[in-house]
Amino acid sequence: MRRIKLDRIDRRILRDLQNNGRMTNVELAKRAGISAPPCLRRVRALEEAGFIRGYHADLNPEALGFGVTVFAQVGLSSQAEVDLKAFEDLVNEWPLVRECHMLAGEMDFLLKVVAEDWDAYQRFLTTQLTAAPNVSHVKSALAIRTSKLQPGVPVDVDGADAG
C-alpha cells in the first residue's frame, strides 16, 4: 500500500464516497471542485493506499427476511493467539455473523448476528456458537431497534492533514 498525505480534496472525496458509493465520478469531481480525470486518479490512489477498502450496497435485513439482530458476547477458555485465530477463522464461516470484534476486558469477542427470527438465532447459538471449540460462555443481547446506523468514520473535510 502506498502512503499518501490527505488534503482537503481527498477528505471531501472520502466523505462523499462514504455517504454515496454509487456517486458518479463526474458528480464526485464536481463536489470536490476538480475535473473528472484527476478525481478518478485520486480515487484510485485512495484505494491503493488502503483508505477505501471497497464498495457495497446497504441491504435492508428485514426486507430480506432477517427480522432479528443479536449482539453475542463470547468468552473463550483460552486466549492464546492460536485459539483466538481459530475462533476468528470459524466465525468467518458463519454467514449469520455479520461483524466480529475482539475485545479487551471481560469478554473476548462481540458478534453481530442476524437471523430470520429468535428461534433461528437459538438454533445457531446451540448448534454452532456454543458448540464451537474453546467457547466457554455466551451472553446474548437482542436488539430492540436501531436509532442510528452510520457506517464508516467521521471525515472532517476542513480538518488538519492526515495520512
Residues 135 and 69 in one domain: yes
Q: In terms of residue numbers, what domain contains 110?
A: 62-142
In a domain, 34, yes or no: yes
**66-94 per-position pLDDT tens digit:** 999 999 999 999 999 999 999 999 999 99
Q: What percent of the chain has pLDDT over 70?
A: 95
In a shared domain, residues 84 and 134? yes
| 92 and 114 part of one domain | yes
Q: With beta carbons less than 8 A apart as the criterion, state whether 134 and 86 touch.
A: yes
Q: What is the pLDDT of residue 158?
A: 86
Q: Which of left, alpha, beta for 61 (phi over 0: left; psi -120 to 50: alpha)?
A: alpha
pTM: 0.86
Grid cell in block for residue 42: 485520486
Please report how many Cα atoms fall inside a 13 Å half-sphere around the Cα of residue 74, on the Cβ side.
29
pLDDT at 1: 52
Q: Which residues partner with 162 through β-bridges?
A: 6
Domain check: are 98 and 30 in the same one? Answer: no
pLDDT of residue 160: 55
Residue 162 belongs to some domain of the structure: no
Query: For residue 69, what is the enclosing H or E element?
Result: strand 68-76
Q: Give which of 122, 156, 163 is closest to 8, Cα–Cα.
A: 156
What CATH number should be reported for the domain holding residue 34? 1.10.10.10
- Report the pLDDT value the prediction gives residue 161, as an integer from 0 to 100: 46
What is the average pLDDT score of the chain?
94
